Amino acid sequence: MTFIEPIGIWNENSFTSEQILEHLNVTKDASDYLWYITRVNVSEVEISYWMEMGILPSLTIHSIRDVAQIFLNGLLIGGAHGNWVKLEQTLKLVQGCNELALLSETVGLKLGLRTLCLGWRELHEEEYLEWSIMFKEANSVLIDREWKLAEVCQKLERHLEILGVAAIEDRLQEGVPETIEILRKAGINFWMLTGDKQTTAIQIALSCNFISSEPKGQLLFLNGRTEDEVFRSLEMVLCTMKISASEPKDLAFVVDGMSLEIILKHYRNSFTELATLSRTAICCRVTPSQKAQLVELLKSCDYRTLAIGDGGNDVRMIQQANIGVGISGREGLQAARAADYSIGKFRFLRRLILVHGRYSYNRTAFLSQYSFYKSLLICFIQILFSLFSGVSGTSLFNSLSLMAYNVFYTSIPVLACVLDKDLNEKTVMQNPQILQYCQAGRLLNPSTFAGWFGRSVYHALVVFLITVHAYADEKCEMEELSLVALSGCIWLQAVVVTLEMNSLTIFQHLAVWGNFMAFYVINSIVSTIPSFGMYTIIFRLFRQPSYWITMMLTLAVGMCPILAIKYYRFTYRSSLY
């Protein structure tokens, strides 16, 4: 009995399917196509031998994919439907050429198509009434409703007569592979959570550079039907991940929804350990609730999660993640409305993270710490004055100065910092690895906060001590001493903001120096009011050389250590940040 080269898919002459390798045993690769056809030549000697021995050749199919129907010489001889198909079918071969054809449900899975097998059967009234009662009961439960409904529906999906197979192409959006590749360079790990079949999910992952097709890339399958099978598979995958942790292999594991349900219920700790070792994972045939559970599990591993989706089944996942991104499009607006951010295309995620996300981190890091700094500065000056005055309870600053300090004198430079850009957008997009310092928290951590805290203490000491010693031998009013100290704070903060900014546009110059001038304009107006305690004080200070010398000395003493530290860092310990 000999095999002839397979014919291939009908109506597609440019494609040749794989040959059956061992007699009539069909491997798992034989059902990857809509029609797999081959010819078998049987000699007269073989027919005589089978008749003498009283046996007939049989076709054995072991497949992880779904085989729908088997044809021999144009006649239907049997079929099977379901996952992990194992079918043995007796063949009545004739002398000469026999044509064997397999109709597979998984048509086009290697092309990333979404397939559907159509079948039907007639239900008796008694059977339907019995099933409807079970369906109502499953639909009314509060725990595991989705799985209960799935179990009930599966009771009808038996003994179906196959009508045909449909395959729908769901094309990738433009720029998806490039976006994933660039974000990987930025140090971002990817998990694919999909309801597609395993083969479809893998082919989509390959087409969008989610997993590598090179020899160094490897897929680890985490499958099983029982708890024992899932446990053994999980331990094997986990062991492989640990062994390969130091090797430059691009490993990824694949798990289906049924196995995942067992894992999350019984082996959550082991799966959590696997999640920390994996940079890439493909979770197929998962439900919306499982997507949310996986996001929650990753958050428990101290990961910052971003979930992106475009359909209603992604809503729970998007809401569970630290950052939810919804894609508005053909799937509707449910995901976009439930998300923190809404984008029109997947490729826009690259700009959202690398440009806007990075700028947002830089600005938030500076604004939050600077806001603490300027508030602590005036508080420490008040504390020093309280100690200097014997804890008398007297405030160095009047109520107007305290109110205007955060509202008028220091607020506008803070708002101007939202325009700060340290690097050009094009540079950031071309060098995504720059984002990794954000993930490491280089600009906002206990160490940087301690630096700003120490700066506020030091500047408070500088302002208070220089002001007190400069006016110690002069007969000055309390309001005059207060305004000198407040001026020192404003001068220092204007220089600090200017020094910490990476780019100075015309708007930022107007905000910083315009706000600096506004301080003197406001106090000049207040000093013209006779009934107010600060009457004519600012004009007297303008005429005193000691006032301007005090401001220059305050800037010099306050900023020289800061400049020296920056010079040392940029010269001898230079880094991006």
Confirm if 218 and 211 have CB atoms less than 8 A apart.
no
User: How large is the average pLDDT for residues 74-92?
Assistant: 62
**455 and 308 co-located in one domain:** no
Do 197 and 54 reside in the same domain of the chain?
Answer: no
In DSSP terms, 2 is beta-bridged to 41
**Does residue 11 have a known ligand-binding role?**
no
Q: Does the annotation place 313 within a ligand binding site?
A: yes
- Is 49 domain-assigned? yes
Q: Which of 311, 329, 351 is the last residue of a domain?
A: 351
Domain hosting 135: range is 126-158
DSSP of 204-240, one letter per residue?
A: HHHHTTSS--STTEEEEEE--SSHHHHHHHHHHHHHH
> In 102-164, which residue ranges form alpha helices assigned H by DSSP?
125-140, 145-154
Q: How far is CA 223 from CA 65, 228, 282, 283, 500, in A?
A: 13, 11, 12, 11, 54
Exposure string of 94-106, with b = 16+ CB inside 10 Å and e = fewer, is eeeebebbbbbbb
The bridge status of strand 67-72 relative to strand 75-79 is antiparallel
Q: Say whether 347 counts as a known binding-site residue.
A: no
> Last residue of some domain: 351, 385, 418?
351
339 and 377 both lie in a single domain: no
Same domain, 202 and 238: yes
Strand order in the sheet with 190-193: 190-193, 280-284, 250-256, 217-222
First-to-last alpha carbon distance for the chain, in angstroms, is 72
Structure tokens at 200: 């479809």
Q: Are residues 324 and 386 in the same domain?
A: no
pLDDT digits (tens, 9 = 90+) for 8-56: 333 332 222 233 323 233 333 333 345 666 777 777 777 777 777 776 6
Range from 138-142, 214-218, 413-417 carrying the lowest mean pLDDT: 214-218
pLDDT of residue 183: 92
End-of-domain residue from the set 351, 370, 397: 351
**71, 35 in Cβ contact below 8 A?**
no
Above 60 in pLDDT, residue 160? yes
| Residue 67 pLDDT exceeds 60 | no
The beta-carbon contacts of 559-562 under 8 Å, at least 24 apart in sequence, are 559/492, 559/495, 559/496, 559/499, 561/458, 562/455, 562/496, 562/499
Q: Would you say residue 131 has pLDDT above 50?
A: yes
Interacting residues of 253 by C-beta distance below 8 A, sequence separation 6+? 219, 220, 221, 222, 237, 241, 274, 278, 281, 282
Does the residue 167 lie in any domain?
A: no
Residue 60 marked in a binding site: no
Per-residue CA distances from 111 to 201, 205, 207, 442 (Å): 10, 11, 9, 43
Q: How far apart are CA 203 and CA 210, in angstroms?
A: 10
The domain total for the chain is 4
117: in domain: no
**Can you tell me the mean pLDDT for 151-169?**
77
Residues 433 and 297 in one domain: no
**294 within 8 A of 284, measured Cβ to Cβ:** no
In a domain, 230, yes or no: yes
The pair of structure tokens assigned to 338 is 């439930």
Per-residue pLDDT tens over the stretch 240-285: 888 877 665 678 899 998 899 999 999 999 999 999 988 899 999 8
Which of 16-20, 385-389, 503-507, 555-559 is the least confident region? 16-20
The response to whether 256 counts as a known ligand-binding position is: no
Residues in contact with 488: Cβ distance below 8 Å, sequence separation at least 6, in sequence order: 462, 463, 466, 467, 550, 551, 554
Q: Binding site annotation covers 310?
A: yes
pLDDT higher than 50, residue 404: yes
Residue 332 gets which letter from DSSP?
Answer: B
CA dist., res. 376 & res. 372, Å (int): 6
Beta strands in 140-186 (DSSP E): 161-168
- 101 and 184 in a single domain? The answer is no
136 marked as part of a ligand binding site: no
